[in-house]
Amino acid sequence: MDVDFALIGHQESWRAAADLLAVLRGPERTRLPDDEIRDILPWIPPRAVCHVEIGSIFDTQIGDTTIGNTKTGGAKARGLYIDSFIPPDRLEAAYVHENIARVRAAAACAIKAGAKIVSLGGFSSILIEGNFDQLPERHATVFTTGNTLTVGFIVRGIKKMCTLEGRNLRSSTLLIVGATGDVGSGCARCLAPLVKRVLLCARNLDRLRKLAAELEAHGVQVEVATDREQFSAEADLVICAASLASPSLLLGRIAADAIVCDAGYPKNLSPSAQMPGAKIFFGGLGQITGGLSFAPDFHGILNRHPFPDVVHGCLLEGMALALDGRFEPFSQGRGFITPERVAEIEAIAARHGIYLAPLYNADGPVQDAIVCETEWSLAENPHPSEAWVGHP
């Protein structure tokens, strides 16, 4: 079987891991007890878990061949989901070397399978974005972090929330937490020219200053700080491009009714009693409208979202490029995401029916699905919304 793309990911909660193993065990066997899962999962070597097939809303011409989709008439691409089996409780810095080794082993699986393009999902891309030289010898396989499309969906999500909430982007103060990372800096470049003021927060002051200088050269008003308390202004738009240890770290440092995009991984911001007025949504997610299937069927397990066929932007980037027949390392390294590159990958994605997903947070949808940008109707979708099993 041709493997057009491979997706490298891992389970972000023990519940997700338990559900995955339950599918593999089959309905005739009892679910593994939680303690057994915690004992077994760390020992599983990275490997393919299932086959993935996606459809485009358009035909694609690759060389002399037109690839069509029986469902939509558009192109199809086939791939593999490869799990690095990073244990959900080992995402901290203490495990970085072990986790890079797991991502490398997962990458080796993708190469062995002959994948033409590999998307590094969530934490995998964070581990590898500055360390591409640590990936195995790649032969004909190319790798992308998928961060450019993630940035595209974060930016679109912010714009959409502003529209839904009747906010004026131009008069907003934007705070980016994790501003010097690949995603954070990409968001800064895309949104800074559209807002009144930008507050950049990260741990590395040198990198912050460098990014600020880049933005200021375009006439943007920028403040930088390694501590959010040092900013002179309150933000009413917030992008958390790095996971916060606790949402309470934002308390008292942002406007009470701020729009907050949780773009970190894993996503851990939720509407809370402490920030009742904040409008929180999960950013960086897109939706495939040309069809998405797994074999075995992991719907609602591998994509645990309240809307069907929603996938993280980082994974969708590789899928979109595969549908387009563009097997190239679109996003690599750190700090190269520009508005032009974002527009380019969004155009490729949209050509194949991949759009911003309806917005939601840990409590569920934050908008009526019917008004979503894709005009995607749940009634027309073959996969029921009961696939929603809650966000971890």
Partner 1 sequence: METLVGLNCSTVECTSPNAPIWQDILAQAVTGELMAAMNYASLSEICDNPAEVADALEHAQIERGHAARFAAEGRKIGVDVPNNVDAKHWKRLREAFLGCITERDFIGCLIVQEIMLESFAVASYARVGKVAPGSLGTTFASIAAEEEEHVDHAMAILRAERALDPQRFDDKVYRLHLDVMTTLAKMLAKECKDGHCEVCHASCVKPALFDVRLSAAELRGASLQQYLKTLDMLGIPGELTLAWVAQLPV
Number of residues engaging partner 1 in binding (CB under 8 A): 22
CB 277 within 8 A of CB 257: yes
Among the listed residues 43, 139, 232, 379, the single contact to partner 1 using CB under 8 A: 43
CB 204 within 8 A of CB 180: yes
CB atoms within 10 A of CB 32: 18
In the complex, least distance from residue 1 CB atom to partner 1, rounded to whole angstroms: 10
Question: Could you tell me how far CA 309 lies from the centroid of its own chain?
Answer: 14
- Asked whether position 354 contacts partner 1 by CB under 8 A, the answer is no
- The DSSP secondary-structure symbol of 31 reads P
- Asked whether position 29 contacts partner 1 by CB under 8 A, the answer is yes
Contacting partner 1 within 292-321 (CB under 8 A): 296
Among the listed residues 17, 18, 80, 315, the single contact to partner 1 using CB under 8 A: 80
Among the listed residues 3, 16, 48, 117, the single contact to partner 1 using CB under 8 A: 48
Among the listed residues 34, 40, 59, 230, the single contact to partner 1 using CB under 8 A: 40
Contacting partner 1 within 104-163 (CB under 8 A): 109
Q: Which amino acid is at 40?
A: I
Among the listed residues 34, 36, 98, 165, the single contact to partner 1 using CB under 8 A: 36
In the complex, least distance from residue 85 CB atom to partner 1, rounded to whole angstroms: 9
Q: Which amino acid is at 67?
A: I
Among the listed residues 34, 45, 246, 272, the single contact to partner 1 using CB under 8 A: 45
- The DSSP secondary-structure symbol of 166 reads T
In the complex, least distance from residue 89 CB atom to partner 1, rounded to whole angstroms: 15
Which one of the spans 41-49, 68-76, 122-130, 269-277 is the region binding partner 1 (CB under 8 A)?
41-49
- Asked whether position 39 contacts partner 1 by CB under 8 A, the answer is yes
End-to-end CA distance of the chain: 34
Query: Can you spell out the DSSP letters for 244-301?
Result: -S-GGGGTTTEEEEEEEEE-SSS------TTSTT-EEEE-SEEEESS-EEEES--TTT
Which one of the spans 3-11, 21-29, 305-313, 320-328 is the region binding partner 1 (CB under 8 A)?
21-29
Considering beta carbons, is residue 113 or 169 the nearer one to partner 1? 113
Among the listed residues 6, 7, 50, 118, the single contact to partner 1 using CB under 8 A: 50
Sign of the CA dihedral running 43, 47, 49, 54 = positive
The C-alpha angle with vertex 364 and arms to 317 and 163, in degrees rounded to 5, equals 70
283 closest CA partner among 377, 205, 191, 192 = 191
- Asked whether position 190 contacts partner 1 by CB under 8 A, the answer is no
Considering beta carbons, is residue 38 or 326 the nearer one to partner 1? 38
Among the listed residues 3, 6, 8, 49, the single contact to partner 1 using CB under 8 A: 49
Considering beta carbons, is residue 40 or 343 the nearer one to partner 1? 40
As a whole number of angstroms, the distance between CA 315 and CA 331 comes to 12
Give the three-class secondary structure for 108: helix
Query: Can you spell out the DSSP letters for 358-375?
Result: PPEETTEESS-GGGSTT-
- Asked whether position 24 contacts partner 1 by CB under 8 A, the answer is yes
CB atoms within 10 A of CB 328: 11
Contacting partner 1 within 92-111 (CB under 8 A): 109
In the complex, least distance from residue 42 CB atom to partner 1, rounded to whole angstroms: 7
Among the listed residues 13, 14, 44, 381, the single contact to partner 1 using CB under 8 A: 44
Contacting partner 1 within 203-232 (CB under 8 A): none
In the complex, least distance from residue 76 CB atom to partner 1, rounded to whole angstroms: 20
In the complex, least distance from residue 290 CB atom to partner 1, rounded to whole angstroms: 24
As a whole number of angstroms, the distance between CA 185 and CA 178 comes to 8
Query: Can you spell out the DSSP letters for 99-124?
Result: HHHHHHHHHHHHHHTT-SEEEE-HHH
As a whole number of angstroms, the distance between CA 284 and CA 289 comes to 17
As a whole number of angstroms, the distance between CA 98 and CA 346 comes to 34
List contacts with partner 1 (CB under 8 A). Answer: 21, 24-26, 29, 32-33, 36, 39-40, 42-45, 47-51, 80, 109, 296
